[in-house]
Amino acid sequence: MVSDDGADGTGGADGYTAREMMVSAAAREIEDGDVAFVGMRLPLIAFQVAVSTHAPNAMSVFESGVVRDDPADGFLHTMCDLPNLDRAVSTTGMLDVMGRLARGDIDVGFLGGAEIDRYGNLNTTRVHAGEREIRLPGSGGACDIACMSDRTVILMAHEPRRFVERVEYVTSPGHGDGGDWREEQSVPGGGPSALVTSKATFGFDGGELYLRTVHPGEDADAVAADFPWDLRTREDVTGDPMGETPEPTDEVLSLVREFDPDGFWTGE
């Protein structure tokens, strides 16, 4: 299956899959009281986990118009599946929810991508495999979320081909070419604050990606070697030693398995 969140579902340590680890790490990026623009796949489950654990006052909005304050009572293949509409707080339209985004009312938005570059710019429009140009599905709401959320969290499979010095097509702007680029370009919203892959989590400093924590069992040098530039680490940026991403708790794992009982999104 080709999925734009990119999780390949492999590489998990004992007891949980790589995608379950990603959901756990992504859920921690949602703070209590946040309004989250959730989108699809792993972020959708991450919201359901967050609101069931540390963020009971978080809200989710979906570009189709759904506004929810709790997990759906049933598995979701898409945001428009009936369990997501049933017992929602509101089912409205796109101009309404995108208008909230445009006014700056969305705290955190979630994104995936086929390619990411040094400054968190994302491409989901077209890539090259050798000489062949491959057409991807496009932006959907990703460009809007990337432009206008207060902060964004990116989820991607950890595959070296996805990490490029400069994306071929900027579907969703990150920090442009670093520094104050967003401000100079009048791009509203704060841009990417974190990247979660199947091997590590990353932050942004001066708009540039750096390695923040590695998942249990992963090696920081090996992770850094997957990037085509000299990737900075938490130690370089903050002086703190490289940390390890906390493992998903039993509570989080049981919630993920409740929300995705067949492992459609989070299985191996």
Partner 1 sequence: MPADKTTSMAEAISRIEPGSTVAAGLALEHAIPFAAGHELARQGTDDLTLVGPISDVLFDQLVGAGLVSHVRAAWTGNVSAGSGYNFRRAVEAGDLSVENHSNFSVALSLHAAALGVPYLPTRSLLGSDIAEEPQFRIAEDPFEGERVVQVPAIAPDWAFVHVQRAAPTGDAHLWGNTGVTYEAVRAAEHVLVTAEEVVDLEVIKSDPSRTRITREQVDAVVEAPFGAHPSPVAGRYNRDNEYFLKYADATRDADGFDAWADEWVYGVDGREEYREKVERDLSVQEPTAAAEVTYGQ
Which residues would be at the binding site for partner 1 (CB under 8 A)?
1-4, 40, 62-66, 77-82, 85-87, 91-95, 98, 101-102, 125, 132-144, 146-148, 169-173, 176, 181-182, 185-188
Q: How far, in Å, CA of 51 to CA of 60, rounded?
A: 9
Pick 140 or 216: Cβ nearer partner 1: 140
Residue 261 CB, shortest distance to partner 1, in Å, is: 13
Pick 48 or 172: Cβ nearer partner 1: 172
Residue 18 CB, shortest distance to partner 1, in Å, is: 18
| Distances in whole angstroms, Cα of residue 216 to Cα of each of 40, 105, 122, 247, 262 | 26, 35, 26, 7, 24
Pick 120 or 248: Cβ nearer partner 1: 120
Pick 44 or 214: Cβ nearer partner 1: 44
Residue 5 CB, shortest distance to partner 1, in Å, is: 10
Residue 51 CB, shortest distance to partner 1, in Å, is: 19
Pick 6 or 12: Cβ nearer partner 1: 6
Q: How far, in Å, CA of 243 to CA of 180, rounded?
A: 28
What is the maximum alpha-carbon separation in the chain?
A: 49
Pick 53 or 92: Cβ nearer partner 1: 92
Q: How far, in Å, CA of 214 to CA of 8, rounded?
A: 17
Catalytic residue status for 63: yes
Residue 244 corresponds to which tokens in the numbers above?
Answer: 């390890």
Closest listed residue to residue 259, CA positions, set 28, 8, 35, 42? 42
Residue 184 CB, shortest distance to partner 1, in Å, is: 10
Q: How far, in Å, CA of 145 to CA of 152, rounded?
A: 8
Burial 126-141 (b: 16+ CB within 10 A, else e): ebeeeeeeeebeebeb
Look up residue 17 and give its DSSP letter: -
Q: SS3 for 1?
A: coil
Contacts of 70 (CB under 8 A, 6+ apart): 51, 87
Q: How far, in Å, CA of 54 to CA of 51, rounded?
A: 7
Q: How far, in Å, CA of 111 to CA of 29, rounded?
A: 13
- Among candidate residues 20, 63, 208, 218, the one labeled active-site is 63
Residue 25 CB, shortest distance to partner 1, in Å, is: 23
Catalytic center residues: 63
